[in-house]
Structure 1
Amino acid sequence: MGSLHRVAMACGLSVLLVGVAHAEDWQVAKDEGGIKVSLSEVAGSKYKAYQGVTTIKAPLAKIKALQEDVAGACAWIHECKVQKLLKHEGDKSWTYTQFNTPWPVTPRDSILLVTSTVAPDGTLTRTLEGLPTYAPAEKGFVRVAQVEGFWKLVPKGDNLTEVTYQVHTEPGGSVPSFVANKFVVDAPFNTLKGLKERAEK
């Protein structure tokens, strides 16, 4: 989801973030290597929202560039098989991603609208909105039914950037609970770990 994620308006951000995933009462599920992953129940969904937070020793511009390399970002996004840019228009991008899934789950694909905004203090927010009907699912894949989330990159000075990655997904089809429960921890952790490693090189 790297470049998948474009942004949300700074001024409307507080309203937006309250709506994202309708999540509350975050509970820490993993805190390792400077990456903290928290989970939250979402009303009306059997899938938890996830939030990963880390501080990366790199300027925001470098992280932004890694995200905007849509195809290249697949290398550090958790279980990403293929990712491509479908369309770019102003502050909006449409991206297509195929994901690997463990047996017996059918592989997923998703289409995201990523909207990017920059606040006066330089904070970059990319809101993620799933567009499941934008194009037909590819053969052999189940289209992810819903994605709602954001990336938030906050410059902290001295070439430090605080990065938050929060998402709630309705994966579509049937997903065993043990797979879903593992995914919501592994996805933010491994994605941020991969991004952090590349940005700090």
Structure 2
Amino acid sequence: MNSIVMDPPEAVAAAAGTPRAKPRRRWLKRLGYVALALAGLALISHFVWVGSGDNQWKLAREHDGIKVYTRKAPGAALLQVRGETRLKSRLAPMVDLLENVSNCSDAYCYDAAVIDRVPSVPNHFASYVTYKFKMPGLAPRQYVLFVQHAQDPVSKEMTLSLTAAPNRVPRDPCCVRVTHLNNFWTFVPHADGALDVSLTQDTDLGGLPYPMANLGLIESTDLFMKMLPELMAKDKFRNVQVDGVLEATQGNP
């Protein structure tokens, strides 16, 4: 009688072409194709986004008297963002909030200092300042800025600009130094106590993917507009005076 010799399981699997391994390889290959397709789609989307834009302001959101606009320039990945609102406030408290480094904590920063005050003509102001901000989930950011304001002595309208001056002082290992920032505030005071406020942000925080950075610019601009009425109602700002700043009801200098 002939005996039947059974091959061990390993030999059977090898003879059958390792059926357990083949499905695994097929799935890995499919995942590779999917990853390549997604990478290609992301690359195409990037070039489409960067090449898009008409450099026109468009309303992104509106609520509670606040309007937020965005502007996309062809060739740029980051948006410019502008927020507008009207509140009850004198002009001096708003200027003090933005130029007095002792108000740092009111703007969510944890360290601020004046580096240098720059002589300026009447109705103007200029200084170099540095601010450090905690960024949730990110390394802290440090802003070194040239701050200046100019006021029309007749209309009392004021523009306050902030421009990055990243090489004004040595880099601090504590933080990521913001190298691109060109923001400005516009204030239009009215005799009835109303103040029209506009903030335009052209900022690159550095180290953030631009979809996240663009969303952050929109949200931060909206947040600034929401915060202002509550800040201006604080006792520390209610009666503050700023040298050289004229209110709507004051005469010309």
Q: Give the alignment's TM-score, normalised by structure 2.
A: 0.63
Asked whether the 8 Å contact 2:55–2:74 carries over to 1, the reply is no
CA distance in 2, matches of 1:95, 1:24: 31
State the secondary structure of the residue aligned to 2:197. Answer: strand
Instruction: Identify which of 93, 115, 118 aligns with 2:151.
Output: 118
Q: Pick from 145, 163, 175 the counterpart of residue 179 of structure 2.
A: 145
Structure 2 distance, partners of 1:199, 1:63, is 7
Q: Larger % of strand: which?
A: 1
The equivalent of 1:157 in structure 2 is 191
5+ residue gaps in structure 2? 1-53, 120-124, 235-253
1:197 Cα deviation (Å)? Answer: 1.3
C-alpha contact (below 8 Å) 1:118/1:125 kept by paired residues:
yes
CA distance in 2 between partners of 1:154 and 1:66 (Å):
16
Supply the distance in 2 between the matched residues of 1:115 and 1:107 (Cα, whole angstroms).
Answer: 25
| Cα offset, 1:41, TM superposition | 1.3
Does the C-alpha gap of structure 1 residues 43 and 145 become closer, same or farther in structure 2, counting only changes over 3 Å? Answer: farther
Q: Kindly tell me: are residues 74 and 93 of structure 1, through their superposed partners in 2, closer, same or farther at Cα, counting changes over 3 Å?
A: farther
User: 1:48-99: per-residue Cα shift (whole Å, max 9, x none)?
Assistant: 1111111111121232222232231441x3x533333222223201111112
Assess if the C-alpha contact under 8 Å between 2:65 and 2:86 holds in 1: yes
RMSD (Å) for aligned C-alpha atoms: 2.0
Q: What per-residue deviation string (whole Å, max 9, x for no partner) do you get for residues 133-190 of structure 1?
A: 1112221311111111211111122111101111201223x21234313211122121
Name the structure with the higher helix share: 2
Aligned residue in 2 for 1:188: 221
Letter in 2 for 1:155: P
| Structure 1 stretch displaced more, 154-163 or 55-64 | 55-64
Q: Which has the higher contact order (CA 8 A, sep 6+)?
A: 1
Same amino acid, percent of matched pairs: 26
Aligned twin of 1:69: 100
1:197 equivalent in alignment to 2:230: yes
Distance in 2 (alpha carbons) for counterparts of 1:81 and 1:185: 23
Rate the CA distance shift 1:107–1:178 in 2: closer, same or farther, 3 A.
Answer: farther
Distance 2:171 2:56 in 1: 34
| Structure-1 residue corresponding to 2:87 | 56
Aligned partner of 1:82 in structure 2 is 111
Matching of residues 11-50 of structure 1 within 5 Å: 24-50=55-81
Question: Deviation of residue 106 (structure 1)?
Answer: 2.6
Q: Indicate the SS of the match to 1:182.
A: helix
- Quick check: 1:109–1:137 contact (8 Å CA) kept in 2? no
Q: Any idea what SS the aligned residue of 1:66 has?
A: helix
- SS across alignment from 1:115: strand
- What TM-score, normalized to structure 1? 0.78
Give the letter for the 1:36 counterpart: K
Once the two structures are superposed, what CA deviation does each residue of 1:28-61 show, in whole Å capped at 9, x if it has no partner? Answer: 2222222211111134432111111111111212
